Structure 1
Amino acid sequence: MRSSAASRIQTVLAGLVTIAVVGVIAVVVLFSPRESAPECRTWTAEQRENAATIIRAGQDLGLSERDQTIAVMTAMGESSLRNLDYGDWETSGVRNPDGSPTTSIGLFQQQDEWGTREARMDPYTAATMFYRAMLAEVPEPERLSMEPTLVAHRTQINAQPDHYAPFWPAAEALVADPSGSGGC
């Protein structure tokens, strides 16, 4: 009789544990933030136009689709493909390593040393400047063997080498389909 009661208690406890585990899983699934895959993001007309301009600048320079995708990925990571007339200094008080305020603007958040304000705010010119810097900083044989985020990092000199990595799938999808539909 004793073992029968103990057996029932164990069964009830096992059932309660199972219910608790299922409940925790349900809460996690129901209340976890849901984002669509980055490659399925809906892009605004402005963002698609900026991506198309970056792609066109790369094509005009005779660069590969991979290089164009690196540039689009970089602009996604820097400005979400928006031609911003402000940068990290204005939004977050970010300073350069020497302590001076950053002067980042445009699609690629390029600072003063990249060119004039007008050049950095012109999407085609800004993309061309990015490509030329990429070609100078990461020659083709090396560029082909590097992770795209590291190519962008070496070109942009971002504080975080892996900053651009999450944007690679979205950039691939957008370069493959500049309409931004991406089959989503």
Structure 2
Amino acid sequence: MIATMLTGVLLLLCCTGGTAAFFLSELGDETEKADALASWGCGPIRPVDIAGELPRFAEYGDAQIRNAAIIIKVGQDMGVPSRGWVVALATAMQESALRNLANSGVPASLALPHEGVGADHDSLGLFQQRPGWGSVTERMTPAYTARKFYEKLVKVRSWQRRPLTAVAQQVQISAYPDAYAKHEELASRIVNALSGGAARTIEINGKAVCNAAERGQIAASGWTAPIPGGVGSGFRTSSRPSHNGVDIGAAKGTEIRAAATGRVLVARCDPDDRGRRDCDVDGHPGKGGCGWFVDLLHAGGYITRYCHMVSQPRVSPDQIVPAGEVIGQVGSSGNSSGPHLHFEVHLRNDRTSRGAIDPIPFMRERGAPLRSAE
């Protein structure tokens, strides 16, 4: 599988290099660390400069983005894979809005510079950690709290593959575990901006590979390509202006995977133009309908659609499906001229054609590009 991923068009935009198989903190000087990070090869991957000029985000001020930089830098220094930086950042975004929060329960003798008052009498800092995480002084030190978070994160079983919400909850034990997911998209954007694109990488044999998330491998952004085939018919072409997705060629029976963690909105047979629900037979051009199909709702209001499955989907409405989980198999049901996956991406929770966007740039930005047909 890995050999296939590292050949042909797939790696046209990708490079490989050393990554989290070692702790960067064990390397020598800063130059050596920079060289190691640059070898990741996902564009200008670089160690975060927490003292330098940082990019601006409308959602956060300079102090908050500097706290984000500290969280990412600690992850880099510890050698935590970049998926961990996204998880840590999303967690801190939910817990403190990236502000180093103190509260009225802190004794005056232990008062430290801080950026606001927390809601909980004994939860402090970027991650709102409680007394068991360390002293007041330690919990009010951003680098310390980030390190403690990562130390617990990497002990969570299969943390790189599991949904961000589930992993963050296992570390934090929050009263509102579902709230973390809404920050994943922006956390990925901040990681990319501060590190030079690390949210687009996946880990393969101890090396980071850029823009290659497929076959169940999940990019640090939390996304993966639904199947590894090449795109044939594109989004709203001149010959097919109402084609609201892309067609990815693949053999019948090829496993289709959830492109990101999401909740199943629809999993059923789409009726054809005559109202017939006969998805268990191959369709034909002009028949109409999506055949057997699935719609998934993801954090951020994104919806992905998977059409023309060979048989009834393996998932059911309201089921939570992790990224990379098999949801069905490629077929040719519905309005189809042969086995392929019709794949759509929609914005703003809008399942109609008004919400549809071109999946190719969308998936490429998340490190899970849809390949061109070879």
TM-score interval w.r.t. the shorter chain?
0.5 to 0.7
Decide which of 154, 162, 167 is 2:178's aligned counterpart: 162
Q: Which runs of 5+ in 2 are unaligned?
A: 1-56, 106-116, 196-374
Give 1 or 2: higher helix fraction.
Answer: 1
What corresponds to 1:128 in structure 2?
147
- Which SS does the other structure have where 1:143 is aligned? coil
Contact kept? 1:86, 1:106, Cα under 8 Å:
no
- The letter of the residue matching 1:103 is D
After superposition, where does 1:44-63 map in structure 2 within 5 Å? 44-63=61-80
Contact kept? 1:48, 1:178, Cα under 8 Å:
no
- Which SS does the other structure have where 2:167 is aligned? helix
How much does 1:46 deviate? Answer: 0.4
Q: Give TM-score scaled by structure 2 length.
A: 0.32
Contact kept? 2:102, 2:118, Cα under 8 Å:
no
After superposition, where does 1:30-109 map in structure 2 within 5 Å? 41-86=58-103, 102-109=121-128
Contact kept? 1:87, 1:109, Cα under 8 Å:
no
Q: In the aligned structure 2, how far is the partner of 1:171 from the partner of 1:91?
A: 21
Q: In the aligned structure 2, how far is the partner of 1:87 from the partner of 1:173?
A: 34
Superposed CA deviations along residues 104-148 of structure 1, whole A, max 9, x for unmatched, are: 010000000100111111100110011111123x13xx1122101
Q: In the aligned structure 1, how far is the partner of 2:179 from the partner of 2:104?
A: 16
Larger Rg: 1
- RCO comparison, higher one (Cα < 8 Å, 6+): 1
What corresponds to 1:146 in structure 2?
162
Over 3 Å counting, the alpha-carbon distance change for 1:156 and 1:122 in structure 2 is: same
How much does 1:91 deviate? Answer: 6.0
Q: Which runs of 5+ in 1 are unaligned?
A: 1-39, 95-101, 180-184
After superposition, where does 1:21-36 map in structure 2 within 5 Å? none
Q: In the aligned structure 2, how far is the partner of 1:146 from the partner of 1:41?
A: 29
- The letter of the residue matching 1:170 is L
How much does 1:86 deviate? Answer: 2.2
- Which SS does the other structure have where 1:149 is aligned? helix
Which portions of structure 1, spanning 4 or more consecutive aligned residues, are displaced by more than 4 angstroms?
A: none
Superposed CA deviations along residues 7-49 of structure 1, whole A, max 9, x for unmatched, are: xxxxxxxxxxxxxxxxxxxxxxxxxxxxxxxxx6432110111
Q: Percent identity?
A: 38
Contact kept? 1:106, 1:122, Cα under 8 Å:
yes
Give 1 or 2: higher strand fraction.
Answer: 2
Contact kept? 1:57, 1:128, Cα under 8 Å:
yes
- Which SS does the other structure have where 1:59 is aligned? helix
